[in-house]
Chains A and B, each alone.
Chain A
């Protein structure tokens, strides 16, 4: 009786603890739930198939055998496949998945460095993007962007596992301004900058890139620790961005207002 009373006191005291005293828990996501259910389905299917096909095939009724095969060879594998696809679609969004290939370390470390002034680091430390920062900036919006992201991810994976990538890493694709403008465009802070208004047409048409003024987005090859830059860069230095010069000349020619450049 005393034991029960003690347990009740402990449970009641736990229940009385205010909510803010608990650690902040996000709870399980649907993707994580599907992953765990997939693990269970796979284990059940493996054990079931081995038992039925190799040990109990002649001991059980033919109809039961067929039902086990139906579950183990069709239903559970289909669920396992859906679980794997959901997991891969969900996990490829995370920063951890990008960092899982060590060639991405300089970029991820820089982004998470509170002392870095790169555009990615400023977005990260100021929580302008709450989570999945790599995915948010490197994927265009809509299903088209998602498919392009998966295609590029597959290409990156192939280059990594076959060790056919070249150092220093460079961004090969084009970067549409809509990725930036979908969040920043139209905000009072954005519109308050004279150059944004002046260059509105060029920004919308992707004739001028946001990163021209707001870079560097990531550390340059010379700034990346552990990366040996190519001989060209060592001898000639980083190539001067011609677009930056062109934008400065263009802005000077059309406005007398000083260009605001985010630091």
Chain B
């Protein structure tokens, strides 16, 4: 029983870590995209907004999806 609780706590901790990481990636990506949308097409803004911002956003979204899947597994909504 104690092992099960420990395992659940460990999973919860890893989910929280993933969420925090995805929030950081998401925020960085959103800031980069914001600069591009605000300043329009410039050599530097395309570099920051498109070639840096979009991969960061995608990484954030992927991490969030992984976290959601783990959370659903933890709650036995989806099974392996």
Contacts and interface: CB of A to CB of B under 8 A. Distances in A.
A88 B54 CA distance: 12
Contacts of B23: 49, 53, 69, 72-73
Contact of A77 (B20, B46, B60): B60
Given A53-B20, A84-B36, A96 B41 contact: yes
Contacts of B29: 77
Interface string B22-44: 11001101110110111011111
B37 A38 contact: yes
A67 interface: no
Interface string A5-34: 000000000000000000000000000000
- Which DSSP category, helix, strand, loop or mixed, fits chain A's interface? helix
Given A77-B61, A84-B37, A157 B47 contact: yes
Give the secondary structure class of B's interface.
Answer: helix
A50 B27 contact: yes
B47 A161 contact: yes
Which of B31, B37, B64 counts the most A-chain CB atoms under 10 A from its CB?
B37
Interface in A68-102: 69, 72-74, 77-78, 80-81, 83-85, 87-88, 91-92, 94, 96-97, 100-101
B57 A46 contact: no
Nearest to B47: A161
Interface residues of A, number: 33
B69 interface: no
Given A42-B37, A50-B27, A73-B22, A81 B57 contact: yes
B52 to A, nearest CB: 11
Given A84-B33, A84-B54, A45 B43 contact: no
Given A45-B30, A46-B27, A80 B57 contact: yes
A84 to B, nearest CB: 5
B53 A84 contact: yes
Given A49-B30, A161-B47, 4 more contacts: A39-B37, A77-B61, A81-B54, A157-B46
Interface of B: 19-20, 22-23, 26-27, 29-31, 33-34, 36-38, 40-44, 46-47, 49-50, 53-54, 57-58, 60-61, 64-65
14 contacts: A39-B37, A42-B30, A42-B37, A43-B34, A45-B30, A46-B27, A46-B34, A49-B26, A49-B30, A69-B23, A77-B57, A84-B33, A84-B50, A84-B53
